[in-house]
Structure 1
């Protein structure tokens, strides 16, 4: 297992690799990495194909840092595609220039060019991840970010004997960008992936994949920390380990009140840390992941597997499969998410905004628009508050910082322009959907409550929404239409889960709160790549404050041009 090109300033760090385990590097003030975007032939099912990688690795290298570190990552693009990298969940205080979404905070890094992402890790610790943030390239361009607590600060849970990253993903046998182009020409969704993967490998349930199975070795009686990341493009996933319970201790790099479960649900963009005790009979046990879909849509029921293997057990022993929830198990999904609570300890408080300055309601809609260039004459689309977002050709942050006119408007509506029975009988109308690059302007340090409301335009569906530049508190969720007169009385304002990505339940709503204390332009979008491409996205313009450290930092000199 190769490290790839990873360089650190300060002392030399020794990495110990043990069947999927990676030791944690020592403390340092500055971490330096070199990311080379390259095309490499990779085999996962029955044949090899060229994919875009970082340092020739799939998944890409893990970024290690410690709370308080400065991280510099020089990205050099040798691939045929323009590229940008997003450091998912890092708050990038005042420093949107390092956030990464193409045409939002930067223009992409063109072929043959480089850009250095330079950021500080401030008041964050835990598991995050990085991925390409342009087109569907994050299908293969992704990796983990592991942020250790400050030196001398223990975890607020049992110290694990060892830890490993478990990155869940998808695999296409053909070039994913060509598949997307073909779908767009037809006006239809691209073909579904050919396999799900665990650490880039589908496991032995897929044809020609015997060599492509991730395995981790455990010792009897030891406790292990799994850092689980859902890097899939379009699937919420169940994950379980045969014969073993998991204790959830962290989500999206925020500690939680521990609870034990036989399976977890994790949406694209989310991370979950669990403790696993190796106390079962010595053997080989499958870890497995498969999609959750409780909407009336085609279910992609491919199950990826990896192996948890007790030390000394031969590879000839057949693994045991876990009991995963059924693909449409809504009851499990709702009950699992309801158990998630912030730790809310004196050291790690849950600072939930109790007073709200700005109330927002955004409806999530799918639709069908005429398309003269599509073979069937129509194309699928998506919208927030009936607005389908149009990507600009100039970075929104640059346009805001340099006051470039005509790139975007700041008149995104606070509420749906046409209220209706959102989750009632299925509707086929688009309700006057318009195209535009329209953002919402937010006053610095104001408190925001945003209700994301699913609708039954075409169909109800679960949507995982990611907000860049911020964590937020998930204060409430429910099925049906949000009732502003009754539902806020049931909000959890004491210890709600704190996240950067939240699933809006199928045919339901989710309410989040955050304090807008990070100036800049911050993307918010559905983390289903299919829906993002259809326009299910927007951005917030958070104004500068009056203090000396409350304004956007100046852009770096090597910021990629458009």
Structure 2
């Protein structure tokens, strides 16, 4: 077994010691990462898989359980696995991002991840965290409450993970390598998938369709996961109402909706009551997943994945009436705002919303695209012959050669990272108005240092540089509370008065609205 990069996690000089948690079960898994031939859209290619499955195997655990996963790398590329949304209390080196929390697992080597699920219940997921290997290396994490603790909603008769993904006919590693070399935007995917299957709306895919067979009157919980690389997705089932009860492994006040919006990295648990219309003949109800995007046409996959919901006795899709749901327009910015506004924490005595009321550290991050100059003797295909670069406060992240936690643990940070990520833009401008003439960004491996248990507020502002887009962002090691969001430029003198500090939704991934801003708060209570 390849040893971890460090044996003990110290957070900038402060060691976190937590009370002993109640002892749960230990769940053991083995993940064998190897190439597997998979046929989609009428063509076959070899893809990295776990245990020969696409999507990968399901992790099933309970709040309080310890999870031990031995990952064996039998592909030519380095591999890590990220347990997306698991807080990793005092186990940050098992979180998975290559060169941030650990050294990657080399070909022919193995690594054992060992962590405890604490205070979470619902749905999360795992995925590779090196380059674009997560295009095929992903799978569900199902977290049940502790034994004897019921759901705060009606118990479903059956629970079904539904994981959305993107399928590329070409090797995703080649696609992203080409994009990084040329500076152009990466080629988009060829299809979206539902549980690995594109569905009947694509050529050669009528047999590659996920089917959910239900019985009238039964209650189903669908554990929705967006494992797509780049696209937010609308999801709906024809003639059926969905009740949202949980997001990102945190309960919410239930509400009914015909359409769910789910950002890459987010999970949403919904209840589905199987109630066919009385007197109607047997029918096939399509479930559709299609992108939400404000980007320019051609820069995202504008296709639709489909599955079917069938009532017993089952029938063939061609012999039954076919009902199709209505989804919002692809660039409908009002729907995401209204949908996210309906998400509220339970904020009960049993499940309180421990949102910081006061703020020790406040950050204002501009989020968007910029450019890097084209290197000498190279032709670049980004805007005006430059290279695309994503940035926060005009800093584009450089991947270090040494894992950041390892550098900090051994107190050898010189040449690895600097603790000077700007707290706010160095040159303020009209972020959602006319973009500045100079779109160049700086590059560096910069971090923010926080005092243990500090209350933190981060406002993330979209920018109109190279086009306003929605930017999904995930915070490792923490859940946070979404206390506010809005259109246009954030106003620190006006907008905080409208923040929700009573029952804001608790998440680990949030989308910065296109042409707008979002504010989150959390306690820095997890060293690492």
Structure 1 length-normalised TM:
0.86
TM-aligned CA deviation for residue 186 of structure 1: 2.7
Task: Decide which moves more: 225-234 or 281-290.
Answer: 281-290
- The corresponding residue for 2:48 is 52
1:75-114 alpha-carbon deviations (Å, 9 max, x no partner): 0000011000000000000111110000000010000000
The alignment status of 1:426 with 2:426, answered yes or no, reads no
TM-aligned CA deviation for residue 459 of structure 1: 1.2
TM-aligned CA deviation for residue 295 of structure 1: 3.8
Q: Per the alignment, do residues 416 and 426 of structure 1 end up closer, same or farther by CA in structure 2, a change over 3 Å counting?
A: closer
Task: Decide which moves more: 294-303 or 307-316.
Answer: 294-303
The alignment status of 1:487 with 2:495, answered yes or no, reads yes
1:313-352 alpha-carbon deviations (Å, 9 max, x no partner): 4213243211111101111111111111011111111011
Structure 1's unaligned 5+ residue stretches are 1-26, 521-562
TM-aligned CA deviation for residue 296 of structure 1: 4.2
Task: Decide which moves more: 450-459 or 419-428.
Answer: 419-428
The alignment status of 1:477 with 2:485, answered yes or no, reads yes
CA distance in 1: counterparts of 2:49 and 2:386, whole angstroms = 34
Indicate if the aligned counterparts of 2:191 and 2:301 stay in contact, CA closer than 8 A.
no
- The corresponding residue for 1:395 is 403
The alignment status of 1:344 with 2:347, answered yes or no, reads yes
- The corresponding residue for 1:146 is 142
Task: Decide which moves more: 89-98 or 369-378.
Answer: 369-378
Q: Per the alignment, do residues 45 and 318 of structure 1 end up closer, same or farther by CA in structure 2, a change over 3 Å counting?
A: farther
The alignment status of 1:467 with 2:479, answered yes or no, reads no
TM-aligned CA deviation for residue 191 of structure 1: 1.1
- The corresponding residue for 2:453 is 445
TM-aligned CA deviation for residue 456 of structure 1: 1.0
Indicate if the aligned counterparts of 1:367 and 1:428 stay in contact, CA closer than 8 A.
no
1:112-157 alpha-carbon deviations (Å, 9 max, x no partner): 0000000011111110000000100100000000000000111000
- The corresponding residue for 2:84 is 88
Indicate if the aligned counterparts of 2:66 and 2:117 stay in contact, CA closer than 8 A.
yes
Q: Per the alignment, do residues 326 and 375 of structure 1 end up closer, same or farther by CA in structure 2, a change over 3 Å counting?
A: same
CA distance in 1: counterparts of 2:441 and 2:331, whole angstroms = 30
Indicate if the aligned counterparts of 1:364 and 1:455 stay in contact, CA closer than 8 A.
yes
TM-aligned CA deviation for residue 183 of structure 1: 2.6
- The corresponding residue for 1:243 is 239
- The corresponding residue for 1:18 is none
- The corresponding residue for 1:358 is 361
CA distance in 2: counterparts of 1:239 and 1:346, whole angstroms = 32
181, 184, 189: which one pairs with 2:185?
Answer: 189
- The corresponding residue for 1:309 is 310
CA distance in 1: counterparts of 2:323 and 2:342, whole angstroms = 28
CA distance in 2: counterparts of 1:198 and 1:335, whole angstroms = 25
TM-aligned CA deviation for residue 211 of structure 1: 1.7
Structure 2's unaligned 5+ residue stretches are 1-22
- The corresponding residue for 1:173 is 169
TM-aligned CA deviation for residue 184 of structure 1: 2.9
TM-aligned CA deviation for residue 71 of structure 1: 0.6
Q: RMSD of the alignment, in Å?
A: 1.3
CA distance in 2: counterparts of 1:235 and 1:226, whole angstroms = 20
Task: Decide which moves more: 61-70 or 292-301.
Answer: 292-301
1:398 is paired with a residue whose SS is helix
197, 207, 213: which one pairs with 1:211?
Answer: 207
- The corresponding residue for 1:541 is none
